[in-house]
Amino acid sequence: GENVEQHPSTLSVQEGDSAVIKCTYSDSASNYFPWYKQELGKGPQLIIDIRSNVGEKKDQRIAVTLNKTAKHFSLHITETQPEDSAVYFCAASVWNKLVFGAGTILRVKS
């Protein structure tokens, strides 16, 4: 079945710097790649997603890139702010099911 690896497991950045989280997937049939932000004690919140027919998508400070050949996709957050601190999960959708990465704890230091 699908396997999603996510790196790094923790990431500390200074406020205003950029943060990049990377994921790889194994099943070439995966066709949808969402990113979720989860705050402590809450459910995941969809922050951006990309479909397999698109290479890049941007929404204000957040962007996602997809390399189908290499089976890589990445989340880019620019001008980080303390409120960006949370756990971020990537996921890949195959046969309409989401398989999640292990998560990245992002800490933005002010």
Partner 1 sequence: GAVVSQHPSWVICKSGTSVKIECRSLDFQATTMFWYRQFPKQSLMLMATSNEGSKATYEQGVEKDKFLINHASLTLSTLTVTSAHPEDSSFYICSARDRASPYEQYFGPGTRLTVT
Q: Which is nearer to partner 1, 41 or 110 (CB)?
A: 41
Residue 53 within binding range of partner 1, rule CB under 8 A: no
Tell how strand 104-109 and strand 10-14 pair up. Answer: parallel
Closest approach, Cβ 95 to partner 1, in A, equals 10
Segment interacting with partner 1 (CB under 8 A) among 14-22, 34-42, 61-69, 74-82: 34-42
E strand intervals along the chain? 4-7, 10-14, 19-25, 32-38, 45-51, 56-59, 62-67, 72-77, 86-94, 97-100, 104-109
User: In angstroms, rounded to a whole number, what is the distance separating the alpha carbons of residues 8 and 30?
Assistant: 22
Q: Which of 14, 60, 69, 96 binds partner 1 (CB under 8 A)?
A: 96
Residue 74 within binding range of partner 1, rule CB under 8 A: no
| 86 touches 13 (CB < 8 A) | no
Residue 25 within binding range of partner 1, rule CB under 8 A: no
Q: Which residues are at the interface with partner 1 (CB under 8 A)? A: 32, 34, 36, 41-46, 49, 51, 89, 93, 96-103
